[in-house]
């Protein structure tokens, strides 16, 4: 009798664990479109149907994983933003200004060029392209206390 109660409890626990795992696995709405590695950086492009994301990512975005930081590039109708995982107080907004606050890096150029090609192949005509970009304007979202 006691072994039946224990077996029933274990079965319920196992079923609950499986259900939670399935719910979490199915809640991911991002689809990997392209991935590559270069000089210690892993670059991935995603398409998502999520309407709201905690990182303020767009429906089409890139993620760069390097040794010590993760960089996100979000492509919107009117602008392209770059944010860092370890600093959510600052947003970099792509600009074609002659004197950007922050110039493009090698990894920026690589990601932005590939993004333009992917947007063309996916027929994303409503998203801003990177043509003529020289760097970023920097926007401080909030100052630390």
Q: Per-residue confidence of the chain (145 residues) as pLDDT tens digits?
A: 555 655 565 555 554 445 344 444 445 577 899 999 988 899 999 998 755 554 567 889 999 998 889 999 999 999 999 999 988 889 999 999 899 999 999 999 999 999 999 999 999 999 999 989 999 999 998 766 6
Is residue 127 within 8 A of residue 60, CB to CB? The reply is yes
Helix (H/G/I), strand (E/B), else coil: 69 = coil
pLDDT digits (tens, 9 = 90+) for 38-56: 888 999 999 987 555 545 6
Give the burial class of 112: count Cβ atoms within 10 A of its Cβ; 0-12 exposed, 13-18 middle, 19 or more buried.
buried
pLDDT digits (tens, 9 = 90+) for 88-104: 889 999 999 899 999 99
Is residue 131 within 8 A of residue 116, CB to CB? The reply is yes
Both structure tokens of 46? 């995603």
Give pTM, 2 decimals. 0.75
């Amino acid at each position: 009798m006691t072994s039946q109660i224990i077996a029933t409890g274990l079965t319920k626990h196992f079923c609950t664990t499986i259900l939670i795992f399935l719910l979490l696995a199915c809640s991911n709405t991002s689809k990997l479109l392209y991935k590559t590695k270069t000089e210690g950086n892993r670059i991935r492009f995603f398409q998502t149907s999520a309407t709201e994301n905690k990182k303020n990512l767009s429906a089409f975005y890139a993620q760069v994983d390097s040794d010590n930081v993760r960089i996100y590039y979000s492509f919107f109708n009117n602008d392209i933003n770059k944010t860092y995982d370890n600093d959510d107080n600052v947003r970099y907004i792509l600009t074609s200004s002659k004197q950007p606050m922050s110039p493009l890096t090698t990894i920026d150029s690589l990601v932005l060029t590939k993004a333009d090609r992917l947007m063309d192949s996916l027929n994303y005509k409503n998203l801003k392209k990177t043509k003529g970009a020289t760097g970023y304007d920097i926007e401080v979202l909030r100052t630390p206390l």
